[in-house]
Structure 1
Amino acid sequence: MARTIQSLERAAAMLRLLAGGERRLGLSDISSSLGLAKGTAHGILRTLQQEGFVEQDAASGRYQLGAELLRLGNSYLDVHELRARALVWTDDLARSSGEAVYLGVLHQQGVLIVHHVFRPDDSRQVLEVGAMQPLHSTALGKVLSAYDPVAHSEVVDADREAFTPRTVTGLGDFEGLLDLTRARGWAADVEETWEGVASVAAPIHDRRRMPVGAVGVTGAVERVCQEGELRPEIIAAVRDCARAVSRDLGAGRF
């Protein structure tokens, strides 16, 4: 049987202790409840506090669960509900567009692909669920950067790598792209991340009107574009899909 890591076990026990019973506990309460020396308990609490999992009340010195745990919990729930609500609509989008469809969420300064519908042409394709895409160059990433303040702050502070000659890396030009994305309600990536590949994406909102993800179509430039411009029917289909998923999440009509 694989050995466990004692410090992680103690941290987990500490979080469970803070999650039940009294809302706030002092160092002595925590150390005695878990059978730990005060120095050991204090070291674990300091680490959890630095990571945002625990907060210390300035007046009393007592500890309580931190906001980062709530954010992680909401993220888990949102992602699973988002994917469940999007299944039918993304299948329809793949059929109507004839291209691959991706559902992405903000994760660790990038876009995490949480759902991928293959291009419906029976060609050999690789499932990309769990893959990460950059925020600044992909259509999904631009949508998240335009609508999600956290994504925006992360992409502004990040090193925006030029993947192709078309990648926009300058902050002023990039902010202009985000303004355009907000104005028209969708974002594009035409050979900015991968040569020969074009994408269109639109934002998904929840019942609080908060951006929880983005959905997009990706395919070869010659199929997604026509005479140098993105095909309007694909743009319309992506936006309709995003609206449908948003409505299913309780966002209402918009």
Structure 2
Amino acid sequence: MARTIQSLERAAAVLRLLAGGERRLGLSDIASAIGLAKATTHGLLRTLQQEGFVEQDTASGKYQLGAELLRLGNSYLDVHELRARALVWTDDLARSSGESAYLGVLHQQGVLIVHHVFRPDDSRQVLEVGAMQPLHSTALGKVLAAFDPVAHNEVMEAGEFPAITELTVTDPAEFEKGLEETRSRGWASDLGETWEGVASIAAPILDRRRMPVGAVGITGAVERMQAGGTLHPRLVAAVRDCARSVSRDLGAGRF
């Protein structure tokens, strides 16, 4: 097994700690949490601070994540031409549907959310950019598994379809049947399979080679997304129109 660099592991531990839980932490709290002496921890923090990855509040002396991490994160997301092309269209999708809009790509056997537009109301919402969603239960994941051979292999080779809610499809044969339906109609849905009482609709985005490069979708409460047990056709149409628009901007042409 290849040797790792201990100082980098420790620095990563500091960053992960600051990324979760309380927004700001003191030296003693950080040292205790990662199991290092204060002097060692202080050295790590000083180096991270010099590089812009950590900032220290002048009043309290506590540490928090620095702006350089945000710049690097946005740089990573912006390498996706997909995200850049989809910004305006996903804004329009959220506005026209009245629901949250998401853009996802295949990443490490899951769906990485690379763009998220809040539902256009005054409700409290949490930005989910960078979050991972399962391939087997979400509308975004099903679309990728249906249209992207790599995503399909990832989900099928995993061999496990864990039950997230009582409605999650856990049988591989039934899941494959659902993918066939997704391919035939051009969109996927998730009705309480990932979050109870929450529904999603998603459609594939194609590039100039007409290859799937991601998926776009909306998510909202089941009672808003459907009526009489059926998803509102206007919402399905809005998602598909958004996917087509982004695909055209990526050079996929008319379809």
Q: Normalized against structure 1, the TM-score is what?
A: 0.70
User: Which position in structure 1 is the counterpart of 2:190?
Assistant: 189
User: What is the one-letter code of the residue matched to 1:95?
Assistant: R
Identity %: 79
User: Which position in structure 2 is the counterpart of 1:246?
Assistant: 247
User: What is the one-letter code of the residue matched to 1:245?
Assistant: V
> In the TM superposition, what is the alpha-carbon distance from 1:122 to its structure 2 partner?
1.9
The answer to whether the Cα contact below 8 Å between 1:144 and 1:214 also exists between their aligned partners in 2 is yes
User: What is the one-letter code of the residue matched to 1:153?
Assistant: N
Q: Deviations over 1:113-161 (max 9, x none)?
A: 0000000002110000000000000000000000011110111122111
1:138 aligns with 2:159: no
For 2:125, what is the secondary structure of its paired residue? coil
User: Which position in structure 2 is the counterpart of 1:48?
Assistant: none
User: Which position in structure 2 is the counterpart of 1:105?
Assistant: 105
**Unpaired runs of at least 5, structure 1:** 9-75
User: Which position in structure 1 is the counterpart of 2:170?
Assistant: 169
For 2:163, what is the secondary structure of its paired residue? coil
Q: 1:243 to 1:78 in 2, by over 3 A?
A: farther
Aligned residue runs from structure 1 range 65-214, under 5 A: 80-158=80-158, 159-214=160-215
Q: Deviations over 1:160-180 (max 9, x none)?
A: 111111111111100000000
Distance across 2 between alignment mates of 1:213 and 1:169: 24
Q: 1:109 to 1:119 in 2, by over 3 A?
A: same
How many pairs does the alignment contain?
183
Distance across 1 between alignment mates of 2:137 and 2:77: 27
Distance across 2 between alignment mates of 1:79 and 1:168: 34
User: Which position in structure 1 is the counterpart of 2:227?
Assistant: 226
The answer to whether the Cα contact below 8 Å between 1:102 and 1:217 also exists between their aligned partners in 2 is yes
The answer to whether the Cα contact below 8 Å between 1:100 and 1:219 also exists between their aligned partners in 2 is yes
Q: Deviations over 1:15-58 (max 9, x none)?
A: xxxxxxxxxxxxxxxxxxxxxxxxxxxxxxxxxxxxxxxxxxxx
The answer to whether the Cα contact below 8 Å between 2:78 and 2:84 also exists between their aligned partners in 1 is no
The answer to whether the Cα contact below 8 Å between 1:110 and 1:132 also exists between their aligned partners in 2 is yes
Larger Rg: 1
The answer to whether the Cα contact below 8 Å between 1:96 and 1:237 also exists between their aligned partners in 2 is yes
Distance across 1 between alignment mates of 2:137 and 2:128: 18
> In the TM superposition, what is the alpha-carbon distance from 1:5 to its structure 2 partner?
4.3
For 2:247, what is the secondary structure of its paired residue? helix
The answer to whether the Cα contact below 8 Å between 1:93 and 1:101 also exists between their aligned partners in 2 is yes
Range with bigger deviation, 138-147 or 152-161: 152-161
The answer to whether the Cα contact below 8 Å between 1:105 and 1:111 also exists between their aligned partners in 2 is yes
**Unpaired runs of at least 5, structure 2:** 9-75
Distance across 2 between alignment mates of 1:85 and 1:152: 25
For 2:80, what is the secondary structure of its paired residue? helix
User: What is the one-letter code of the residue matched to 2:193?
Assistant: E
> In the TM superposition, what is the alpha-carbon distance from 1:80 to its structure 2 partner?
2.1
Q: Deviations over 1:214-254 (max 9, x none)?
A: 00000000001111110100000000000000000000000
> In the TM superposition, what is the alpha-carbon distance from 1:78 to its structure 2 partner?
8.5
Distance across 1 between alignment mates of 2:144 and 2:170: 17
Distance across 1 between alignment mates of 2:80 and 2:188: 24
Distance across 1 between alignment mates of 2:210 and 2:85: 16
User: What is the one-letter code of the residue matched to 2:151?
Assistant: A
> In the TM superposition, what is the alpha-carbon distance from 1:79 to its structure 2 partner?
5.3
The answer to whether the Cα contact below 8 Å between 1:139 and 1:199 also exists between their aligned partners in 2 is yes
